[in-house]
Structure 1
Amino acid sequence: MVALTEKDLLKMSDGGLVELFRTSPPGDIPHGPLEGTGIVPWGGRWVAGPLARLVRMALWRGKVFDRAGYLSNRMTAFDVLAIVAQVYTGPSLLDEQDCIVIDYSRISLVARGVRDEIREVSPGLYLGVVWLLGARVCWFALRVPEIGSESTKAEQTANRPSG
């Protein structure tokens, strides 16, 4: 598996994201909080990057998975946990191959028509596709937070005492 980052995914076209999703394994169902990045595969990197940052700051920050087969979405800059879904392995609407399904239809009033699917495209990095009423509407990435990631290094440098 080639090591990819969210930045790599933000640069990909819709066709490239479809191909990557189709050729990737489901991976293990994650546990705990994952960092999220919204991906719009149109407008080029000049639109995708700034839009992803705006969504992350104002609306959606990722997901928190639990071992009981559920998750909550991390919403707003305050990390409010909301919009619960069931999580299980099942066939993808994209290609009928196994993926990790995030199913809102049975337990969410707000997102009843939404289904997310994810596959692991790089160690600790999942590519997700969002389905709304059976139509593919957008993509997202989920990353397992880890020491040594680009954001962690930047935060450590910013918080280091000077002198």
Structure 2
Amino acid sequence: MHATVESWLSKTREELDEIYRNAKPGELPTGDTRGTAILAGSLLSKLVAAFARLFAWQGKVFDIFAEDGRAGVLINKITPFSLSFIVAKVYRDNSWMDGKETIVIDYSKTSFFAKVIRDEIREVEPGVYLGKVWWGKKRILDFALTRKQDE
């Protein structure tokens, strides 16, 4: 696990929110990324992250297709076999958290199962993204993405 992401596992939700607010959107990720679910403020966050990676969600594969690098699609890798499932649109827009620019992962028009989910990510350091998961307008979880070559 990337050292920055490992340090996030022991942070509170407020500390992660502060990191997110201070980050710029950065570059849209491309290719295969490794995902880490973060249950902020929990003593079990490392266990939850390991369990989620093993049995539920391993990350996302991004395909940025706009010529200006501002939009694309992704597919989530889920199950212990990293099956590609649940497509989303990727684009830049304003964050629901602070109104500043962010990278949005939008499932509303691409997935029956996840249409109420919206993810937002910002690049905290090169190849390392901190994300927020929204269920409708309620934030439910934090997560990290790292580019495979940056681990």
Q: TM-score, normalised by structure 2?
A: 0.92
Residue identity opposite 2:96 in structure 1: L
> C-alpha separation between the residues in 2 aligned to 1:58 and 1:65?
21
Greater strand fraction, Structure 1 or Structure 2: 2
Number of residue pairs matched by the alignment: 144
Larger radius of gyration between Structure 1 and Structure 2: 1
- The Cα shift of 1:72 comes to 0.4
Question: Is the 2:120–2:131 contact (alpha carbons within 8 Å) kept by the matching residues of 1?
Answer: yes
Match of 1:11 in 2: 10
Q: Give every structure 1 segment of 4 or more consecutive aligned residues whose post-TM-superposition deviation is greater than 6 Å.
A: none
Within 5 Å, give how 1:71-82 maps onto structure 2: 71-82=74-85
Confirm or deny: 8 A CA contact 1:33 1:63 kept in the other structure: yes
Are 2:51 and 1:54 equivalent residues in the alignment? yes
**1-side partners of 2:3 and 2:93: how far apart?**
24
- Alignment match, 2:149: 146
Give the TM-score, by structure 1 length.
0.85
Structure 2 CA distance for aligned equivalents of residues 6 and 22 of structure 1: 17
* Structure 2 portions without partners, runs of 5+: 66-71
Q: Sequence identity of aligned pairs in percent?
A: 40
Alignment of 1:69-108 (within 5 A): 69-108=72-111
Cα distance in 1 for residues equivalent to 2:41 and 2:23: 22
Q: 1:4 to 1:25 in 2, by over 3 A?
A: farther
2:131 is equivalent to residue 132 of structure 1:
no
In structure 1, the gaps of 5 or more residues are 150-163
Q: Specify which of 123, 127, 136 is matched with residue 120 of structure 1.
A: 123
The SS at the match of 1:87 is strand
